[in-house]
Chain A
Amino acid sequence: QKEVEQDPGPLSVPEGAIVSLNCTYSNSAFQYFMWYRQYSRKGPELLMYTYSSGNKEDGRFTAQVDKSSKYISLFIRDSQPSDSATYLCAMTSSGAGSYQLTFGKGTKLSVIP
């Protein structure tokens, strides 16, 4: 079983739609969760960081963590064409020594004007 699973998509939505991106994980030691946005051949850009179960909101983005189900989500409201990118989930644990991140494969999102 892979440590972090993420549906690669591609996901195509109309402008203004609500987007839901998800990851599941198997390692219950993961405690810190991040969402990155990555444009083609660029570095991942940190969007959201969460620690505890529950929701965290930042502008149009909401990150949700359900540790009991080992499931995390990123919601994008009022999606814009500029949101078109690949979204990566990443996670780490305090027991991971140096806190290296384990990534999902990424979901490619296209927002159609």
Chain B
Amino acid sequence: EPEVTQTPSHQVTQMGQEVILRCVPISNHLYFYWYRQILGQKVEFLVSFYNNEISEKSEIFDDQFSVERPDGSNFTLKIRSTKLEDSAMYFCARGDRLTYEQYFGPGTRLTVT
């Protein structure tokens, strides 16, 4: 049983379009993360979200990216104007504050054409 679910499982979009990727935690947690994995590459940290605020972001997470928790439950990653190089798997993870373990969702495969 996944700790978090993600929708959609696969998103195809044209370059320049906006996309919203969604993460739904199974239960109420405070720590969330977004990571991405370009095909054949490492899993890379994008942003962390604690108590409804960004706590840290990587160099990858530029002005084209944003995160929200609009309804206190769903957790979204928005890419405003997609580029070809944004094609990747995007993973949401929830964190355990006491043990630092992170549990990943199944991912959204984003294809930018």
Contacts and interface: CB of A to CB of B under 8 A. Distances in A.
Contacts of A88: 43
A6 B45 CA distance: 17
Interface of A: 32, 34, 36, 41-46, 49, 88, 90, 92, 94, 96-106
Contacts of B106: 42-43
Residue among A90, A100, A103 with the most chain B CB within 10 A?
Answer: A100
Contacts of B91: 43-44
Main secondary structure of the interface of B (DSSP, over half): strand
Contact of A45 (B43, B48, B104): B104
Given A43-B91, A43-B104, A105-B42, A100 B48 contact: yes
Nearest to A44: B104
B72 interface: no
Contacts of B89: 41
Contacts of A49: 99-101
Nearest to B101: A49
B97 to A, nearest CB: 8
Given A98-B48, A100-B48, A46 B42 contact: no
